[in-house]
Amino acid sequence: MGAMVRRLEFDNLLSRHMRGRAGHALALLAIGLVLAGCGAAPTPMPTPAPTPTPAGEVLILAIGDSLTEGLGVGDEETYPAQLEAALRAAGHAVRVVNAGVSGETSSGTLQRIDWLLQQQPDVVILAIGGNDGLRGIDPALTEQNIAALVTRIQASGAVVVLPGMEMVRNLGSEFVSDFRAIYPRVAEESGALLMPFFLEGVAGDRTLNQPDFIHPTGAGYAAVVANLLPYVEQAIQQAQAR
């Protein structure tokens, strides 16, 4: 019951937050579309040089949006940094690379995934899709993108951990239901390791979130890591068995 109450509080607060910013966001979107149409071709990303990984060390690539990047918290409080510390404390020789980008959508991740995979990770945590939902992008397109991402990552030889995302209820019951179904369906079809909800026990808890009530605090990310840890340990075992 406590988790349900916190989830409802999260929905209500985020709904108010979104309504208050809706006009501003639409204006910025319109300006962005105009600029995108008038601008020059995007500058190609430089090819990343794979960072040498000591023998026996597992490289984990954390891909995602602001929840991965750690918007609003210090570098050591982000979930990738806390996850690396927790895994090392548990005796795992690992390095976790934070590849989160604030504002990222599944389409944006799809555009840069081949570049990211040049790091040659053993495990990839793919925590993406939240911004798709908040922008009202068709869940069918989001699912298509996430499925394609998982396919490319697995083709590179990495094990995928896929945290599920949830949407606020003011987007409509059909949209919320369709969005929620993306992650278990992709995981079942691909064999990716599904973490049911990335913000389980964190969303809706005022003590674990920043004032925007969207992004966790350092303590909130510690709770995320505690929930995520067994899935990542399972992925490490799979990667080492290959």
pLDDT, one tens digit per residue, over 101-151 is 999 999 999 999 999 999 999 999 999 999 999 999 999 999 999 999 999
Range of the domain at 78: 2-39+56-240
Burial of residue 179 (CB within 10 Å: 0-12, 13-18, 19+) is: buried
Q: Which helix or strand (DSSP H or E) is residue 112 part of?
A: helix 106-116
Is 194 domain-assigned?
Answer: yes
242 pLDDT tier (thresholds 50, 70, 90): confident
Is 63 domain-assigned?
Answer: yes
**pTM of the model as a whole:** 0.80
User: Any idea what the CATH number is for the domain that residue 225 is in?
Assistant: 3.40.50.1110
Contact call for residues 185 and 150 (beta carbons, < 8 A): no
Q: Domain count of the chain?
A: 1
Backbone angles phi, psi at 79, to 5 degrees: -65, -35
pLDDT per residue as tens digits for the range 16-63: 444 443 333 333 333 232 223 333 333 344 434 455 566 689 999 999
Contact call for residues 212 and 187 (beta carbons, < 8 A): no
- The full DSSP string for 165-188 is ----GGG-HHHHHHHHHHHHHHHH
Closest-CA residue to 235 (of 115, 83, 102):
83
pLDDT per residue as tens digits for the range 162-201: 999 999 888 999 999 999 999 999 999 999 999 999 999 9
Is 110 domain-assigned?
Answer: yes
Is 48 domain-assigned?
Answer: no
Is 163 domain-assigned?
Answer: yes
pLDDT per residue as tens digits for the range 199-214: 999 999 999 999 999 9
Burial of residue 173 (CB within 10 Å: 0-12, 13-18, 19+) is: exposed
Contact call for residues 164 and 198 (beta carbons, < 8 A): yes
- Integer Cα distance of 146 and 211 in angstroms: 30
User: C-alpha distances in angstroms, 144 versus 39, 95, 151, 188, 194?
Assistant: 28, 30, 11, 14, 17
> Which SS3 state, helix, strand or coil, does residue 88 take?
helix
Is 87 domain-assigned?
Answer: yes
Q: What mean pLDDT is predicted for residues 8-16?
A: 44
At residue 234, what is the residue type?
Q
122 DSSP assignment = S
pLDDT, residue 169, reads 86
Catalytic residue among 15, 17, 66, 92: 66
Is 50 domain-assigned?
Answer: no
Q: Which residues pair with 125 in a beta bridge?
A: 62, 161
Is 212 annotated in the active site?
Answer: yes
Is 111 domain-assigned?
Answer: yes
